[in-house]
Structure 1
Amino acid sequence: MVNHQLIQLISSLTKSEKRYFKVNASIVKTNKMLLRMFDVIEKNKDLSESELLKQLKIPSKSNLAVMESRLQALILKHLRGFHSNSSQEIELHHLLVEIEILYTKRLFKNCAKQILKAKKIAISCDNHLILLGILKWESYIEKEQGKYLLQSQNKLKEILNDETQLLTDYTKLIEYKYHTFNLLLLSKNKVVAQLHKEIEFYDKLVNDGFFEIKTNHTFEDKLYLLNFKGMYFMSKGDLSSCLSIYHKLMLEIESSNKKNILQSNEYFLALNNLLLLEVLN
């Protein structure tokens, strides 16, 4: 059987992604056979392994498996290029790679410039993990370039304080994420007895104000909190409160300056839930 994951990957590609892949992959002559395999699978996704071997004139199944792996890796490589600026998160990951390369080459001024660029983007989209990674490189640069002892020590303490605060904030975020995903899984799997037990636990947390949105919450914090509260009220049959929460969630998403947020899964899921609740109410 032809690699199912490869077939799924090819099927998921948009017209623009396919065009980008073919144009850029064809520049390298050694990709000719892989591009031929891509075309054959794209035209007939139900093709059997023996038919694919015959069409591509591949001598053995082991050779086919190697080619399938190479094609999948090639597609993903070009998808990285296609989506390089589609979100701040992807852009930040690329910047971190550049920062590491520049640091390894001991080009510290160039490295510091990329750190400042990445830090600005990471702060704007409240990405705790990327910020921690950036601060790591910032401390490395200070270690290498610090000319004045007291000034460098103060800078390192400032970085330490920032890292400590980020870890505290991130701990809260992953708690919100856990409770949101936990309630979602219970609801999806219709585990009624366990759901009732969890709701009793969540009643206490809600009454204690654990899920209240505060001014210092990040955009991602608010997404988890509002999604949790929406599912919480839905589980309790309080459709009116649930509808109100999803109105707030939509407003939060539409007010965000996060790149391509209106094309995200978060937006379409929230919109779908809102429309469903409008009908139910």
Structure 2
Amino acid sequence: MSIKNDKLFLLIKSLSKSEKIHFKLYATRIKTNKNAKFTNLFEKINKMNFYNDKKILNNTSISKKQLSNIKAHLFKQILISLKLQNLEKDNDLKILNYIFFAKILYNKGLYIQSLKFLEKSKIIARNEEMNIILLEVIEFEKMIESQHITRSIRTKSGELSLESKELIEQLKCQNAFSNLSLELYSLYLKVGYVRNKKDKIFIESYFRTNLPKFNIKHLNFYEKLYLYQAKVWYHHIQQNFIMCYQFSKKWVKLFKNNKNKKQILPISYLKGYHHLLDTLFYLNNYYKFIHILAEFEQEVKNNNMILNVNTKVLIFMYKYSNRINKHYMEGTFSEGINNVIPSLLKEFNKLHNLLDIHYIMIIYYKIACLYFGSGDNQNTILYLLKIMENKQINIHKDLQCSARLLYLMACYESGLDDNMDGKIQSAYKFFVKMDDWYIVQKKIIFFFKNIGNMFPNQIKTQFKKLKYKLLKYYFHPYEKRTFLYLDIISWLTSKIENRPIEQIIKEKFISRYNHIR
């Protein structure tokens, strides 16, 4: 059975050492559970590197008929254990627990006691600006006050009604911002950057139509957060990285001004840093990039946010992708392979089953580019094939298209130009299928198609011609997106001057930042 298909295996493997200890104590609090089948199943799966039904059946007293039910029981028991362990740490769980107690007391006819628990939950919800949960609590209060004599109806009814109306208005705005952010993010994953004027008009129209009217001074934390997220995606899709930088900076600053939110929303905090670093990389602002990267890594070291599986995955992604980006900017590809790749692969193997395909493809592409810059074309091809063999072709189309162009470059560099026509044809078909057949891609594909028919003394001239043609599109509003993923200009320069691409990029960096070195 595939690991990815077994939810129990993944849950157990995601547990920390303390969570495993807590579960064992919780499960064996009843003496008869010490040798229970579900606790034995936990021990067996915990020791496995790969899930295997046969090993469990052969090494336990569990029968084939029982296995499914015992696995389901164990899954629920682990979740209950995690809930109990995190109850005091997680305000969401604490509020939900108070609501649960309130409902039990209400069903027992103990209305006053029920309202006391609801009041406790309201205090936390208000402090943390958890308006959705707060509205649920208020609606519960309204129901109790309207149906039962609690001796507080005269003072409470007006307060609850007014508070409910205000919350509903706030939630309308918050919901509009969050929906807009989500839709733009989804659009980026499917299509990537704007490809033409039609795309640009669509994005601008969609954004204007769905952005609610607001006064920034009156927005709460969550409204501001979703607004900044939506603005970041809006400008990112249009490759307006200066504006993207401005709003990602506001995103991170929002958390710095509300430090308690780092613990409540660690994922959003990390993503804010990611976008800030990403835009600085695209803007080629090395000074600010290394400063923010150092700041980000220090935040992680200081444990200023909750560490769980989700945050560990994002920290891994953002830490290594930006360390690689730093080597890209410096032109120190060989150094990056020696200093970054070994620890990256070690952590990648541990987290691989927890990463979605989008993240995996980004890591493979980053590694491939690092190898290409160092001149190691064999490993470049190895990692690019991992991307090209992926069947989920609608994920991150821009990256997949760039991977195919880099693959042609690596094959040419390594001398693996047998069946080059077939490789070119395959890339061409992919671009057409993805509806991503634009000028820059066409010129690169046609260049590789014709280079096999040239005499050796003509090749350098053709490289010069291609470089001249592509430079015209380097700042083009739609065509420049290819250059974000692929430094083909530096590669062409290296072919024209017959020097390693690493040397070309390093010299460009030093000439721009000669006072750093």
TM, length-normalised to structure 1? 0.87
Separation of aligned partners in 2, 1:251 and 1:202? 27
Specify every segment of 5 or more residues in structure 1 that has no aligned partner in the other structure, as ranges.
none
Aligned to 1:125: 128
Q: Is the 8 A contact 2:37 2:61 kept in 1?
A: no
Deviation at 1:232, TM superposition (A): 1.0
Separation of aligned partners in 2, 1:277 and 1:211? 27
Deviation at 1:187, TM superposition (A): 0.6
Q: Confirm whether residue 107 of structure 1 aligns to residue 116 of structure 2.
A: no
Q: Where does 1:19-58 land on structure 2 (aligned, <5 Å)? A: 19-31=21-33, 32-58=36-62
- Report the aligned-residue RMSD: 2.5
Deviation at 1:263, TM superposition (A): 6.8
Separation of aligned partners in 1, 2:38 and 2:126? 41
Deviation at 1:250, TM superposition (A): 0.7
Encode CA deviations 1:184-241: one digit per residue, 9 max, x unaligned: 01111226568545413145349xx747662221211111110111111111211111
SS of alignment partner, residue 217 of structure 2: coil
Q: Is the 8 A contact 1:86 1:260 kept in 2?
A: no
Q: Is the 8 A contact 2:255 2:262 kept in 1?
A: no
Separation of aligned partners in 2, 1:66 and 1:203? 48
Q: 1:279 to 1:213 in 2, by over 3 A?
A: farther
Separation of aligned partners in 1, 2:38 and 2:130? 37
Greater C-alpha Rg:
2
Separation of aligned partners in 1, 2:135 and 2:207? 34
Specify every segment of 5 or more residues in structure 2 that has no aligned partner in the other structure, as ranges.
284-517
Q: 1:259 to 1:221 in 2, by over 3 A?
A: closer
Q: Confirm whether residue 83 of structure 1 aligns to residue 76 of structure 2.
A: no
Deviation at 1:262, TM superposition (A): 7.0
Q: Confirm whether residue 245 of structure 1 aligns to residue 229 of structure 2.
A: no
Which residue type is aligned with residue 230 of structure 1? V
Q: 1:211 to 1:273 in 2, by over 3 A?
A: farther
Q: 1:241 to 1:211 in 2, by over 3 A?
A: farther
Separation of aligned partners in 1, 2:227 and 2:11? 33
Separation of aligned partners in 2, 1:132 and 1:224? 19
Aligned to 1:173: 174
SS of alignment partner, residue 237 of structure 1: coil
Q: Is the 8 A contact 2:8 2:75 kept in 1?
A: yes
Deviation at 1:68, TM superposition (A): 0.6
Q: 1:250 to 1:107 in 2, by over 3 A?
A: same
SS of alignment partner, residue 216 of structure 2: coil
Q: Is the 8 A contact 1:139 1:156 kept in 2?
A: yes
Q: Confirm whether residue 229 of structure 1 aligns to residue 216 of structure 2.
A: no
Q: Is the 8 A contact 1:88 1:259 kept in 2?
A: no
Separation of aligned partners in 2, 1:211 and 1:272? 28
Deviation at 1:13, TM superposition (A): 1.2
Which residue type is aligned with residue 50 of structure 2? D
Deviation at 1:17, TM superposition (A): 1.4
Q: 1:118 to 1:74 in 2, by over 3 A?
A: same
Aligned to 2:467: none
SS of alignment partner, residue 81 of structure 1: helix
Q: 190, 199, 203: which is aligned to 1:199?
A: 203
SS of alignment partner, residue 204 of structure 1: helix
Deviation at 1:105, TM superposition (A): 2.2
Q: 1:128 to 1:203 in 2, by over 3 A?
A: closer
Q: 1:210 to 1:59 in 2, by over 3 A?
A: closer
Separation of aligned partners in 2, 1:235 and 1:135? 40
Encode CA deviations 1:142-184: one digit per residue, 9 max, x unaligned: 342344xxx7355323322222222222122221111101100
Aligned to 1:183: 184
Q: 1:232 to 1:168 in 2, by over 3 A?
A: same
Q: Percent identity, please.
A: 24
Encode CA deviations 1:14-50: one digit per residue, 9 max, x unaligned: 1221121112212123433212111111111424212
Which residue type is aligned with residue 157 of structure 2? L
Separation of aligned partners in 2, 1:280 and 1:27? 55
Aligned to 2:270: 268
Which residue type is aligned with residue 176 of structure 2? E
- Higher RCO structure, 1 or 2 (CA under 8 Å, sep 6+): 1
Q: 1:118 to 1:13 in 2, by over 3 A?
A: same
Which residue type is aligned with residue 247 of structure 1? K
Separation of aligned partners in 1, 2:91 and 2:51? 38
Separation of aligned partners in 2, 1:158 and 1:211? 27
Equivalenced residue count is 275
Deviation at 1:97, TM superposition (A): 0.5
Q: 1:259 to 1:180 in 2, by over 3 A?
A: closer
Which residue type is aligned with residue 137 of structure 2? I
Aligned to 1:98: 101
Encode CA deviations 1:32-78: one digit per residue, 9 max, x unaligned: 32121111111114242122111112222x20001110110111111
Q: 1:167 to 1:40 in 2, by over 3 A?
A: same
Aligned to 2:158: 157
Separation of aligned partners in 2, 1:272 and 1:204? 26
Encode CA deviations 1:87-106: one digit per residue, 9 max, x unaligned: 32221111111111122223
Deviation at 1:275, TM superposition (A): 2.0
